[in-house]
Amino acid sequence: MPQYTEEAVLDLLRRVEYPGFNADIVSFGLIEQIKIQDNRITVNLKFNTTNEETRKAVKSGVQKTLEQEISGPRIMVIEGIPTLEMPGLGGPKANDPWAGRKAVEGIKSILAVASGKGGVGKSTVSTNLAMALSAEGLRVGLMDSDIYGPSVHIMMGVDEKPMVSEDQKLIPTEKFGIKMMSMGFILDKDTPVIWRGPMVIKAVEQFLRDVKWGELDVLVVDLPPGTGDAQLSLVQKTPISGAVVVTTPQEVSLVDARRGHQMFNKLNIHTFGIIENMSYFLNPANGEKVHIFGKGGGPRAAYELGVPFLGEIPLEQAVAEAGDAGEPIVHKAPDSEAGKAFRQIARNLISKGLLERVPR
């Protein structure tokens, strides 16, 4: 029997399409595990839909595809228990990627800040962009939906829990003129990670519907990093005008940024563009730009993907310090190199139609 690897099997599974979508089941995060043992290949599928037909179609697609390509080992396809309901998937509206999204009254535009991987500065960008958009005269809200590491409330220097109004709605906390709601207000730091997925989706829906945002021009949403199930269900349930993808110049990070863009593409969500963070270090001695992590990666990725490059943000100690101290750099030092970069990106976003795209 030829030697099959898990990667090879996973590659074959990319040929199996998710019913009703122009996307494969691997990108949809359906493959939980592939096991190759003795004379048997076991594929564990993790569904996000309870729709029987969809599940059957995927299972038989997997079985057929693998049997066609692999001779020898027996193919076993096992289905896990349904995890999350995703109304955008399956059911009679399987072809409508917007089936699960409803507009939010009073909010003109919803901007999702995403990244393919963690630690690239997504929350730093979310908070500073919110401040920069506000400096452009817009009414801005900021929502942290990061399940694993909510940090927006820390970067904005807020630790009060939101108040509840008489009609049982949450009143967003306000700071620097920005209305805020954060997973950090709600999740206990000891909440087991396994609960966070389902919890966050409920909570984010509540943030959107049961929070007294009032009239907003833009709601900036800090998404959890990555392109897995949690992100997928979140963006499917959230009416979004468009997304920005944050990356750093390194190749690994760019690969992830491409994946992020592809996720939005598949869900028919507009990508406003790519923001490159930690692009260069400004040498304080001579004012020269030092490209520590390589140069031109962000613009190149944007070009390849056919989306705008929105700008680069320098690596500055003051940016991290401002975040730690709870006052974003755009507020603390608007004329610093990073402060100016964020403000330019905010203006670029507006000129790219941020306020003209209805969230859906």
Ligand X SMILES: Nc1ncnc2c1ncn2[C@@H]1O[C@H](COP(=O)(O)OP(=O)(O)OP(=O)(O)O)[C@@H](O)[C@H]1O
Interacting residues toward ligand X by CB under 6 A: 115, 118-124, 146, 149, 151, 225, 277-278, 313, 315-316, 319-320, 323, 338
Picked from Mg ion, ligand X, none, the partner binding residue 269 (CB below 5 to 8 A depending on kind) is: none
* Residues in binding contact with Mg ion, number by CB under 5 A: 3
Q: Which is nearer to ligand X, 108 or 122 (CB)?
A: 122
Hey, what are 138's tokens? 């817009």
Query: Which residues, at least 6 apart from 333, have a Cβ–Cβ distance to it below 8 Å?
Result: 318, 322, 339
Burial 25-49 (b: 16+ CB within 10 A, else e): bbbbbbbeebeeeeeebbbebbbbb
Nearer to Mg ion, 119 or 214 (CB): 119
CB proximity list for 147: less than 8 A, separation 6 or greater:
183, 187, 193, 196, 197, 199, 200, 224, 230
Residue 147's binding partner among ligand X, Mg ion, none (Cβ under 5 to 8 angstroms by kind) is none
CA-to-CA distance for 304 and 271, rounded, in angstroms?
Answer: 13
Please provide the DSSP assignment of 32-70 as one string: EEEEEETTEEEEEE--S---HHHHHHHHHHHHHHHHHH-
- Is residue 123 at the binding interface for Mg ion, with CB under 5 A as the rule? yes
* 315 touches, from Mg ion, ligand X, none (C-beta below 5 to 8 Å by class): ligand X
CB of 51 or CB of 126, closer to Mg ion = 126
CA distance 288 to 279: 13
Could you tell which of ligand X, Mg ion, none binds residue 346, using a CB distance below 5 to 8 A set by kind? Answer: none
Between 113 and 302, CB nearer to Mg ion:
113
> What is the C-alpha separation between 209 and 203, in angstroms, rounded?
10
Instruction: Write down the least CB distance from residue 122 to Mg ion, Å.
Output: 5
Minimum CB distance to ligand X, residue 66 (Å): 35
CB of 155 to Mg ion, least distance (A): 9
Is the CB of 251 or the CB of 324 nearer to ligand X?
324
Residues near Mg ion (CB under 5 A): 122-123, 151
